[in-house]
Amino acid sequence: MNRHALVTGANRGIGRAVAAELHARGLALTVTARDAAAAAGTAAELGPGVRGQQLDVTDPDSVGKAAADVGPVDILVCNAGVLLDAGTGPLTAPLDLVEETLRVNLLGTWRVLQTFVPGMVERGWGRVVVVSSGTTAEFGGALFPGAPGYSLSKSGLNGLTALVAGQTAGTGVLVNAVNPGRVRTRMMPQMTTPPEVPARFIADVATLPASGPTGQFLTERRVPQ
């Protein structure tokens, strides 16, 4: 059966590399971006058969329309994210930036999960990857004070992953968070690792066998068998 994968924030960076990797592995693919032209352009670049779809994770109408337009999704990669408060601190971070960070990273991902995961449960099969970060307190990491809103948003995502995985346990739907490591993208231009490196790992987590883990925070150094 050819599974259908959907990636958020797939027009650049890690999301685009994950989309390319899933396409190379032969999956039916929808690439989404908050800009419709960017979604269409990325789909065209990746190759025939790839669908482009506008999806802004902060906009309920956009997410709802995407779900109606693309049909059942088997594999969901929640990659869209922002880093807005780098270089601040817990006592100085502008809270409007923190609020926007939480709106995109935590609530936006939550919205996408609420939209697509129930269908997976109904169909008895699904793989969900939540792109988190190393800057999280959940699962034994350490919060990063230099981007407090971002760090807390990703900690929240790990907790959300555990909650959703608890709900889907035994249904055939595996839900995991990943730390992609530090990767050279527009978000982190000073890094050297290209996004294709975590993309292979994220694609592995997106195509886990039925015996694979769920409710875990996986790093690029712990590829599940």
Ligand X SMILES: NC(=O)c1ccc[n+]([C@@H]2O[C@H](COP(=O)([O-])OP(=O)(O)OC[C@H]3O[C@@H](n4cnc5c(N)ncnc54)[C@H](OP(=O)(O)O)[C@@H]3O)[C@@H](O)[C@H]2O)c1
**Neighbouring C-beta atoms of residue 122, cutoff 10 Å:** 12
Q: Which of 110, 144, 150, 217 is catalytic?
A: 150
**35 forms part of the interface with ligand X (CB under 6 A):** yes
**42 forms part of the interface with ligand X (CB under 6 A):** no
Site string for ligand X, 83-112 (x = CB under 6 A): ---------------------x---x----
Binding to ligand X (CB under 6 A) within 155-214 occurs at 180, 182-183, 185-188, 191
> Is 92 part of the annotated catalytic residue set?
no
**44 forms part of the interface with ligand X (CB under 6 A):** no
- For the bound state, the minimum distance from the C-beta of residue 24 to ligand X, rounded and expressed in Å, comes to 18
**148 forms part of the interface with ligand X (CB under 6 A):** no
Q: Which is nearer to ligand X, 44 or 191 (CB)?
A: 191
Buried b / exposed e along 10-38 (16+ C-beta atoms within 10 A): bbebbbbbbbbbbbeeebbbbbbbbeeeb
- For the bound state, the minimum distance from the C-beta of residue 92 to ligand X, rounded and expressed in Å, comes to 21
**8 forms part of the interface with ligand X (CB under 6 A):** yes
- For the bound state, the minimum distance from the C-beta of residue 115 to ligand X, rounded and expressed in Å, comes to 13
CA 196 vs. chain centroid, Å, equals: 15
Decide: 86 and 147 in contact? Cβ < 8 Å: yes
Residue from 3, 5, 6, 11 touching ligand X (CB under 6 A): that is: 11
Structure tokens at 73: 């999704």
Residues that bind ligand X (CB under 6 A): 8-9, 11-15, 33-35, 56-58, 79-82, 104, 108, 131, 133, 180, 182-183, 185-188, 191
